[in-house]
Amino acid sequence: MLDIRFIRENPEAVKENIKKKFQDAKLPLVDKVLELDAANRAAMTEANELRASRNSLSKQIGMLMGQAKKDPSKLQEAEAVKAQVKANADRLAQLEEQETRLAEEIHHIMLQIPNIIDPSVPIGPDDSCNVEVERFGEPVVPDFPIPYHTEIMESFDGIDMDSAGRVSGSGFYYLLGDIARLHEGVLAYARDFMINKGFTFCIPPFMIHGNVVEGVMSQTDMESMMYKIEGEDLYLIGTSEHSMIGKFIDQIIPEESLPQTLTSYSPCFRKEKGAHGIEERGVYRIHQFEKQEMIVVCKPEDSMKWYDQMWKYSVELFRSLDIPVRQLECCSGDLADLKVKSCDIEAWSPRQQKYFEVCSCSNLGDAQARRLKMRVKGADGKMYLPHTLNNTVVAPPRMLIALLENNLQADGTVKIPKVLQPYMGGKELLVPKK
């Protein structure tokens, strides 16, 4: 969310940013919010004047009532002033109601106006215009066929989607045996990887209030992603970033405690509305999964440095698992409204012979901080808004697709990368049961 003062002073820049994001339908919102803001400020000014006059009028009534004991004509003057006070009080009540209504309308519109994107973001309407920046590791296509990922898992008796369908419906799964252990091993390795990078490990709440949801994500994403608990002001988190950033709601953060670097484990719950392609069947896009996340809260001048560091952590982790990856810069039309800059880390799929998303790293500037009323008290005593960033560490079971495909051998066995072996009881190889 932008600062209303920025919109007042830079309306054309805000409109140009909307155009760069190919959201022309939102252009009228800029003029509308400025119109409402002007009306709100006028109401506030008039209300403050009425409040200031209230004391002087009350004193005048007291003085006239005292004089009326000697001069009865003063009583009529006092009654006239009392009528004025009553009229002012009625008008003040109207103005206060108007201020509340206008503030709500302004807030609703401000939530819809996208954040200002970084000048380095490539311009394009959708993800087809995302730009490959760099590849890490050599993508290999083996000389034997790679089965679909659920078929690989089934060869180890490692997945049961039929039973999950009967229990919970589509988009759910049971993981079993070595595949379930591999799933947990990846999460444990990712946790320790980030702890070794100096991040503090955290297990956050898995449900959050509606005001936190509104603070951390756009309205569109909220509708398409979040599950609400019926009858309660609670939502199941779609990613632990939501509750991790929400941890700082309404807080004044001491500057000396920055940066806040946290890595969190959580289950994630997503509606995943809309139709998806055949490559998104299996466990690629599901309603429930687990994830290790990283978030940073830092000084504004440090956020781009952290952005570069965070996506590089993802590359380092995936390369340690023998998985080739690439960095893909997200274009303007593919950025969610709160994001200043974002990139995806995509893993190589030997079966599809293409890359697919496994991590998403985002710099959100001060948008979440403004929505959540997070502030930092500087050394000079002045308050300012911190910047927030987030990035996926790993999100199995999708991440398992890349791990299994890239470590599958011709005889159906799967090599366990060296860094994962301690989490798999020392196993170096998974041997299929059928």
Question: Quick one: pLDDT at residue 18?
Answer: 97
pLDDT grade, residue 278 (50/70/90)? very low
Dihedral (C-alpha) 339, 341, 346, 352: value to the nearest 10 degrees? 70
State mean pLDDT over 117-128.
Answer: 96
Is the preceding peptide bond at 147 cis, omega within 30 degrees of 0? no
Give helix 398-407 / helix 177-196 axis angle, nearest 10°.
Answer: 100
Question: Quick one: pLDDT at residue 72?
Answer: 64
- Find out whether 121 and 332 touch, Cβ atoms under 8 Å: yes
State mean pLDDT over 237-253.
Answer: 95
The larger pLDDT score, comparing residue 54 to residue 118, is at 118
Tens of pLDDT, residues 26-49: 999 999 999 999 999 999 999 988
> Is residue 347 scored above 60 in pLDDT?
yes
Closest listed residue to residue 74, CA positions, set 56, 86, 60:
60
- CA–CA–CA angle 120, 124, 128 (5° rounding): 115
> Is residue 280 scored above 70 in pLDDT?
no
Tens of pLDDT, residues 187-203: 999 999 999 999 999 99
Fill in the DSSP letter of residue 114.
P
The domains found in the chain, sorted by start residue, are 4-110 (1.10.287.40), 127-430 (3.30.930.10)
Distance CA 234, CA 176 (A): 31
Distance CA 308, CA 365 (A): 14
Q: Backbone phi, then psi, for 386, in 5-degree steps? A: -80, 170
pLDDT grade, residue 225 (50/70/90)? confident
C-alpha R_g of the chain: 29
Question: Quick one: pLDDT at residue 55?
Answer: 65
Question: Quick one: pLDDT at residue 50?
Answer: 85
- Find out whether 266 and 208 touch, Cβ atoms under 8 Å: no
Encoding tokens for residue 198?
A: 């100096």
Dihedral (C-alpha) 185, 269, 353, 126: value to the nearest 10 degrees? -140
Please give the order of strands across the beta sheet that includes 375-377. Answer: 252-254, 375-377, 383-384
Question: Quick one: pLDDT at residue 275?
Answer: 40
> Is residue 244 scored above 60 in pLDDT?
yes
Distance CA 160, CA 157 (A): 8
pLDDT grade, residue 403 (50/70/90)? very high
pLDDT grade, residue 92 (50/70/90)? confident
Question: Quick one: pLDDT at residue 218?
Answer: 80
Encoding tokens for residue 312?
A: 């590089």
Question: Quick one: pLDDT at residue 156?
Answer: 96
The larger pLDDT score, comparing residue 74 to residue 348, is at 348
pLDDT grade, residue 1 (50/70/90)? confident
Question: Quick one: pLDDT at residue 70?
Answer: 53
Tens of pLDDT, residues 131-184: 999 999 999 999 999 999 999 999 999 999 999 999 998 889 999 999 999 999
- Find out whether 47 and 95 touch, Cβ atoms under 8 Å: yes
Percent with pLDDT over 70 in the chain: 91
**Helix (H) / strand (E) containing 208:** strand 207-208
Question: Quick one: pLDDT at residue 277?
Answer: 45
Q: Which parts of 217-282 fold into alpha helices (H)?
A: 219-225, 240-246
- Find out whether 155 and 433 touch, Cβ atoms under 8 Å: yes
- Find out whether 365 and 387 touch, Cβ atoms under 8 Å: yes
State mean pLDDT over 328-347.
Answer: 96
Mean pLDDT over all residues of the chain? 91
Tens of pLDDT, residues 375-388: 999 989 999 999 99
Q: Record the pTM.
A: 0.89
